[in-house]
């Protein structure tokens, strides 16, 4: 029976040799004495969920980041934010919109508390012509105190119409309040839990629409190019994340010859940083006095990267506007790396969630590891794992062509490939839970003292003391450290928690909920970093017990000769001074500090 089964499995691999990495084969033999016969049970070949997801991922047509942005921009041209007095006029609103053309989709947005019972919808027309006709029919408000501003944020007030409830149809989707919780699933693998969590908290289509709609409003007010970047568009952002926008006043694109015809422009300031600060200062004034929905505008111009921060009332987003050209390029790079393999983003989401729960990261910037730095750690691990899942940046640069070269106004040149259809896919078929375990095993013993991480070369590189405690080579600017803020204590904390997570995956139930539970490192058999015994600082011994006379005395922290100052060492060793009679009880630590 064993020879027959092995022969069939061998023939299966010869007929379809690609199937072996794609399936999980479980052979379980057990002998049972049933009427003198030996029964053998063999489970069927079960397709691996991660491999099926990988197959559907690679079979779908690839879209570059530029094409993705262009599709979103075209979608914005057919989309409007429409505010109505109440939910009761929804049916009348639908009839009113239909007179301009077919409606592709209507989505209900969360309520804006500053407008009483007002309800907001996101309306997308089927054609751009219908959307243009709808926009041209709008007028400025009749209020004399209203600041005139035309944008895609509109208000509709029914005039002499019979109110009717908006029935739930296929063209309307209600957006409920979303909370970040781990989905409860029974009898599923850890990989399935990670995938379910990723699908729950990742950005949805509505989030992308609102981001590009806010950028379109900014472009209408500034008459300049405004593009979203960062976690809101690179695929690594969660729901309700901040919206980072890039204000472009200079063209950034492929290398070209010096143009013969140019515009006459006013000379700018001698310092590029001061010029950006001046632009952003004027932007803050425009947001305060002109653009509707922008509230609590703050100008943070003395930061390393000057920004203007505000809250968008209608989109319910915290927004940052900057003129740093590195941000959009880094966004595209992370988007490309996330598109190379369907396991990259779920793994990053899981590790970010774990780091937040065990206090490795914090929503407030500081001396600890940030989400961006944690993402670079995951990318580095996926570059060094065998077989390789993500290629090095040098490989992507070698595959890039002349059309892939982009140069910023600061002279930063990026030439990595944009079309991933020419990149050879990875042969690694490990499930996400195995990659998660490998991540913890790799970094809990990593020598951060003598080595750094290189995304460009996909390897660990030697580092010097001046390169920081945690050295992660900036992918776009190799001369810079992407983690200069991290201190030694946080690196030790990260490695301790990696060890604790690895212990839980090997000794506790392999579930996402158990992984997220904080585990005190004392349970692993060693003290955490940074805790000091106060009694050792002041050389204070424990009081003797009156019940036991044979109790062992604790050893002093230093020997008697070591506690003597060097200047008195000779006299102390040759002829010790006579002991003085104690005048009272031994003072406590607090009394000695006070004196």
Percent of the chain at pLDDT above 70? 69
Q: How many CB atoms lie within 10 A of CB 468?
A: 20
Question: What residue ranges do the domains of the chain occupy?
Answer: 2-47, 78-177, 341-390+426-524
Structure tokens at 203: 């950005």
Q: Which CATH number fits the domain 341-390+426-524, given the four candidates 3.40.50.2300, 1.20.120.530, 3.30.465.10, 1.10.1410.10?
A: 1.10.1410.10
Interval 394-403 mean pLDDT = 89
| Distance between CA atoms of residues 338 and 70, nearest Å | 19
Reported as a single tens digit per residue, the pLDDT across 201-227 is 999 999 999 999 999 999 998 888 999
What per-residue confidence (pLDDT) applies to 301?
Answer: 94
The CATH architecture one would assign to domain 78-177 is 2-Layer Sandwich (3.30)
Q: What are phi and psi of 131, to 5 degrees?
A: -65, -40
Task: Among 188-192, 261-265, 303-307, name the one with the lowest average pLDDT.
Answer: 261-265
Percent of the chain at pLDDT above 90? 47
Preceding peptide of 387 cis, ω within 30°: yes
What's the whole-model pTM score? 0.74
The most confident of the ranges 61-75, 165-179, 345-359, 550-564 is: 345-359
Q: How many CB atoms lie within 10 A of CB 436?
A: 27
Does residue 69 contact residue 208 with C-beta atoms inside 8 Å? no
* 383: exposed, middle or buried (Cβ count in 10 Å: 0-12, 13-18, 19+): buried
pLDDT(389) > 70: yes
Interval 123-145 mean pLDDT = 89
Q: What are phi and psi of 480, to 5 degrees?
A: -110, 155
End-to-end CA distance of the chain: 87
Task: Among 21-25, 388-392, 396-400, 423-427, name the one with the lowest average pLDDT.
Answer: 21-25
Structure tokens at 347: 């793994």
Reported as a single tens digit per residue, the pLDDT across 24-45 is 322 333 333 333 333 333 333 3
- SS3 sequence of 545-567: CCCCCCCCCCCCCCCHHHHCCHH
Beta bridge partners of 186: none
Reported as a single tens digit per residue, the pLDDT across 171-189 is 344 443 444 555 555 557 8
Reported as a single tens digit per residue, the pLDDT across 513-567 is 888 887 665 544 444 444 434 344 344 444 444 444 444 343 333 333 333 343 4
C-alpha to C-alpha distances, 424 to 390, 399, 418, 428, nearest whole angstrom: 10, 11, 14, 12
What per-residue confidence (pLDDT) applies to 350?
Answer: 96
Q: Which residues contact 122 (CB under 8 A, 6 or more apart)?
A: 79, 80, 81, 82, 105, 106, 107, 109, 206, 209, 210, 213
Does residue 260 contact residue 321 with C-beta atoms inside 8 Å? no
Beta bridge partners of 320: 244, 309
- Tell me, yes or no, if the two domains 78-177 and 341-390+426-524 fold the same way: no
Interval 432-455 mean pLDDT = 95
* Backbone angle region of 359, left / alpha / beta, with phi > 0 → left and psi within -120 to 50 → alpha: left
């Amino acid at each position: 029976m064993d020879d027959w089964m092995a022969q069939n499995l061998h023939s299966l691999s010869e007929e379809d040799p690609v199937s072996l990495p794609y399936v999980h084969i479980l052979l379980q033999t057990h002998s049972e004495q049933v009427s003198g016969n030996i029964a053998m049970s063999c489970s069927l070949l079960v397709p691996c969920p991660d491999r099926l997801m990988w197959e559907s991922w690679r079979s779908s047509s690839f879209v570059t980041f530029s094409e993705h942005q262009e599709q979103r921009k075209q979608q914005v041209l057919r989309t409007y934010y429409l505010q109505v007095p109440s939910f009761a006029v929804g049916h009348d609103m639908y009839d009113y919109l239909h007179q301009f053309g077919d409606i592709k989709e209507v989505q209900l947005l969360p309520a804006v508390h500053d407008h009483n019972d007002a309800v907001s919808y996101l309306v997308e027309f089927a054609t751009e012509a219908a959307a243009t006709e709808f926009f041209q029919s709008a007028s400025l408000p009749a209020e004399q105190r209203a600041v005139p501003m035309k944008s895609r944020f509109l208000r509709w007030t029914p005039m002499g119409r019979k109110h009717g409830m908006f029935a739930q149809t296929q063209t309307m989707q209600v957006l409920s309040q979303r909370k970040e919780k781990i989905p409860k699933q029974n009898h599923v693998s850890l990989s399935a839990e990670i995938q379910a969590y990723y699908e729950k908290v990742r950005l949805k289509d509505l989030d992308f629409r609102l981001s590009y709609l806010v950028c379109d409003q900014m472009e209408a007010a500034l008459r300049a190019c405004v593009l979203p970047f960062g976690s809101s568009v690179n695929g690594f952002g969660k729901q309700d994340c901040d919206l980072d926008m890039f204000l472009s006043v200079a063209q950034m694109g492929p290398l070209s010859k010096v143009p013969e015809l140019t515009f006459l422009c006013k000379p700018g300031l001698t310092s590029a940083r001061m010029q950006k600060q001046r632009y952003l200062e004027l932007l803050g004034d425009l947001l305060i006095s002109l653009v509707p929905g922008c509230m609590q505008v703050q100008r943070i111009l003395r930061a390393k990267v000057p920004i203007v921060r505000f809250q968008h009332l209608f989109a319910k987003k915290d927004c940052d506007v900057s003129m740093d050209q590195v941000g959009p390029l880094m966004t595209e790079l992370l988007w490309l790396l996330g598109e190379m393999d369907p396991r990259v983003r779920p793994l990053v989401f899981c590790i970010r969630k774990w780091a937040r729960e065990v206090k490795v990261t914090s929503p407030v910037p500081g001396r600890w590891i940030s989400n961006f730095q944690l993402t670079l750690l995951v990318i580095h691990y996926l570059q060094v794992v065998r077989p390789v899942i993500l290629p090095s940046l040098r490989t992507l640069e070698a595959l890039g062509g002349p059309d892939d070269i982009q140069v910023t106004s600061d002279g930063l040149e990026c030439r990595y490939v944009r079309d991933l259809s020419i990149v050879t896919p990875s042969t690694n078929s490990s499930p996400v839970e195995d990659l998660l375990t490998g991540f913890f095993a790799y970094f809990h013993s990593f020598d951060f003292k003598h080595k750094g991480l290189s995304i460009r070369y996909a390897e660990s590189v030697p580092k010097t003391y001046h390169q920081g405690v945690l050295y992660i080579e900036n992918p776009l600017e190799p001369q810079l450290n992407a983690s200069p803020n991290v201190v030694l204590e946080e690196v030790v904390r990260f490695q301790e928690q990696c060890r604790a997570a690895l212990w839980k995956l090997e000794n506790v139930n392999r579930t996402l909920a158990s992984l997220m539970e904080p585990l005190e490192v004392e349970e692993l058999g060693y003290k955490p970093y940074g805790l000091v015994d106060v009694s050792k600082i002041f050389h204070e011994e424990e009081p003797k017990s009156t019940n036991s006379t044979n109790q062992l005395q604790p050893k002093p922290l230093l020997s008697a000769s070591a506690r003597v100052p060097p200047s008195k060492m000779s006299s102390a060793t040759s002829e010790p001074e006579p002991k003085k009679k104690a005048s009272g009880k031994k003072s406590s630590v607090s009394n000695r500090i006070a004196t």
